[in-house]
Amino acid sequence: MTTPDLITADLVDLNLDAADKRAATRALAERLVTAGRVTDLDLFLKDVAAREEQMATGLEGGIGIPHCRSAAVTAPTLAFGRSDAGIDFGAPDGPATLIFLIAAPEGGGGDHLKVLAALARRLVRAEFKQNLLAAAEPAAVAEYIRQEVA
């Protein structure tokens, strides 16, 4: 995984409009398909849903991190969505406004865990979350996340 490849501007949705976590995940996953990072949308969504059934992926502070390893993923990838209304990912303190969809190839457990760990370290910093909430341009968000996470 190279830093520039993890997330690109086309994988950022600053106006994620979804009624629930499945719709939010689908909207971000469709960006992965368009970018050539996921080859089979239905298989990928099935794998994300199976992971979500094991344990909710909502974190306190308005964060959702749906993720999975899947045979449909061609390269470790991170998509990001920001929802003004918030989407319930099962966090105890309420809906998520910042959603990170982590997609790892089936054999890419190490990359998957590295991205999760790096995100977790950043998400405890109020400045990181505030910058994502205030950002106006997808390219700037992608660059910021690459610098912070990769």
E strands, the chain, where? 12-13, 58-59, 63-64, 67-70, 77-87, 96-105
pLDDT (mean) for 28-47: 97
The more confident residue out of 110 and 108 is: 110
Return the pLDDT at 5: 83
b or e along 42-79 (b: 16 or more beta carbons within 10 Å of the residue's beta carbon)? eebbebbeebbeeebbbbeebbbbbbbbbebbebbbbb
Q: Measured at the alpha carbon of residue 48, what is the angle toward residues 46 and 49, in degrees to the nearest 5? A: 65
Q: Are 103 and 71 in contact (CB under 8 A)?
A: no
| Whole-prediction pTM | 0.93
Answer whether residue 111 shows pLDDT above 70: no
pLDDT at 91: 94
| pLDDT at residue 149, as a whole number | 84
pLDDT digits (tens, 9 = 90+) for 2-29: 445 889 999 999 999 999 999 999 999 9
Mean pLDDT for 74-85 is: 94
Residue 102 falls in which region: left (phi positive, over 0), alpha (psi -120 to 50) or beta: beta
Give residue 142's pLDDT band: very low, low, confident or very high (50, 70, 90). Answer: very high
Q: Which domains does the chain have, with CATH numbers?
A: 3-149 (3.40.930.10)
**What's the CA gap between 49 and 122, in Å, rounded?**
25
pLDDT score of 112: 66
Checking if the pLDDT of 1 tops 50, the result is no
Catalytic residue (one of 21, 31, 37, 67): 67
Q: For residue 7, how far is the Cα from the chain centroid?
A: 10
d(CA 44, CA 71): 8
Residue type, 1: M
pLDDT at 123: 87
Q: For the chain, what percent of residues have pLDDT higher than 70? A: 94
Kindly report the average pLDDT of the chain as a whole number: 91
Active site residue 67: yes
